[in-house]
Amino acid sequence: MSATMIISIAFLLFVVITIIKGVRIVPQGYKWIVQRLGKYHTTLGPGLSIIIPYIDEVAYKITTKDIVLDVPSQEVITRDNAVLLMNAVAYINITTPEKAVYGVENFNWAIQNMVQTSLRSIVGEMDLDAALSSRDHIKAKLKAAISEDIADWGITLKTVEIQDIQPSKTMQSAMEAQAAAERQRRAAVTKADGEKQAAILEADGRLEASRRDAEAQVVLAEASQKSIELVTKAVGNQEIPISYLLGEQYIKAMQDMAKSNNSKTIVLPADVLSTIRGIIGRA
């Protein structure tokens, strides 16, 4: 093979390689950063583009699709010294690729650390109960805290979500103990209230029974008074009817005593006959 042929083939290969290096086809969803002699020159959008071979170089290929950044779990201390384990996820979009690559060394790592730092600062101003129940509030403050900073890097924060909030194992044990103590306290209070109400009801019952007994005694006394008045009015100064009534009550009392199961002895007056004669009026 002659030298001319070799030179021709080499020149042809050089031309092909030059054309390949000068023609760039950027796929949809990406933007390419072109540097000319080591300095930023232009940004290529999707489609066919021509660059100067050997002078221009595609330095970075940046996606324009939304990027999901998983923020690792970390320990966060609340204002009341409770330890929480929290992790988040951020959705970003690169709107100005040249700022993203030249404005920060590694925007993924930078945004992750910024989210973690802001999260610790926000939760550190909240109590435990508020932190566990205020995800939307934390999300809004977190988004406001980092959106302006990453905008300087040509990046838009679409949203940030708090994936999980849970107390540490030590904190969980303390919370469980506190919950158990609270349940025991409520049970003791409920029991005490029940016993108090029962005692009040019992006292009210005794008071009502005493009141009714007193009223009954008054009624009986009034009835006895009326009976005595009627008997006195009926017999006047006669002793025999009165003696008869007293004897009748005496005999009835003795009969009731004799019928009692606990009665073993019947007490009779010493002069039974005289008493009976006095009762029937034969003395």
Q: Are residues 143 and 202 in the same domain?
A: no
Q: Which residues pair with 1 in a beta bridge?
A: none
Last residue of a domain, one of 63, 88, 103: 63
Q: Structural domain tally of the chain?
A: 4
Whether 92 contacts 157, CB under 8 Å: yes
pLDDT at 282 over 50: no
Whether 151 contacts 99, CB under 8 Å: no
List the one residue out of 162, 160, 157 whose CA is nearest residue 131: 162
Q: What is the mean pLDDT of residues 125-135?
A: 85
Q: Please provide the average confidence, as pLDDT, over all residues in the chain.
A: 81
Q: What token pair was written down for 241?
A: 């009817």
CA 278 centroid distance within chain: 90
Q: Are residues 90 and 24 in the same domain?
A: no
pLDDT value at residue 271: 54
Q: In whole angstroms, give the CA distance from residue 48 to residue 27.
A: 9
Q: In whole angstroms, give the CA distance from residue 27 to residue 196.
A: 81
pLDDT at 268 over 60: no
Q: What are phi and psi of 146, to 5 degrees?
A: -110, -15
Full residue range of the structural domain in which residue 161 is found = 67-167
Last residue of a domain, one of 63, 79, 103: 63
Residues with Cβ < 8 Å from 266, sequence gap 6 or more?
A: 254, 257, 258
pLDDT in tens, 78-94: 888 888 888 899 999 99
pLDDT in tens, 215-267: 888 777 777 677 667 766 766 665 555 565 666 666 776 666 666 665 555 55
pLDDT value at residue 157: 92
Lowest mean pLDDT, pick from 119-128, 163-172, 185-194: 163-172
DSSP 59-93: EEEEE-S-EEEEEEEEEEE-TTS-EEEEEEEEEEE
Q: Are residues 73 and 157 in the same domain?
A: yes
pLDDT value at residue 214: 81
Q: Are residues 161 and 177 in the same domain?
A: no
List the one residue out of 153, 85, 152, 89 whose CA is nearest residue 115: 89
Q: Are residues 79 and 127 in the same domain?
A: yes
pLDDT value at residue 171: 65
pLDDT value at residue 245: 61
pLDDT value at residue 115: 92
pLDDT value at residue 244: 58
pLDDT above 90 as % of the chain: 25
